[in-house]
Amino acid sequence: MKIITYLVVSLLLFCCKTDNENKLEQCQLIIDIFDQSEIEDLTKVLDFFNKQISFQQKNEHTDVIESYQSFFKRMSEAAMTGNMDIDIPYQKQKEMYSQISENTFNQIWYFGDANRWREGVIFNMI
């Protein structure tokens, strides 16, 4: 799930300027892939992660892009230890999941787990 989360957040950030002038519904890439109700759901997801990442990085009033840069730097460092805790409470994530349609959820999320094996990482899809 964490890899999917990074991909979705990266895709969403790709279409957003730091000054928030662009909305998801104005991004042609998003429009080409998702319908209007899915875009509304993605906006909820984006708002959730923006707030969580900004709060987590202790810089809620600074630029959201800087918050994500700090977050991904921390995740990159965590990857070296194998402890990839995104530090967003699962209960809060579940509350956010319940606010989006099941259809959208199934298109952007997949639950799985990862196990360390020798020098690499193998993903077990469940």
80-114 pLDDT per residue, tens: 887 777 888 889 989 998 999 998 888 887 766 65
- Provide, rounded to the nearest whole percent, the portion of the chain with pLDDT above 90: 17
Average pLDDT score over residue span 13-21: 51
Judge residue 118's burial from the number of C-beta atoms within 10 Å of its C-beta, 0-12 exposed, 13-18 middle, 19 or more buried. exposed
* Residue 99: predicted pLDDT: 94
As a whole number, mean pLDDT of residues 54-69 equals 74
Q: In Å, how far from its chain's centre is CA 74?
A: 15
Write phi, then psi, for 62 (nearest 5 degrees). Answer: -100, 180
pLDDT of residue 20: 47
Can you say whether residue 62 is alpha, beta or left, with left for phi > 0 and alpha for psi between -120 and 50 degrees?
beta
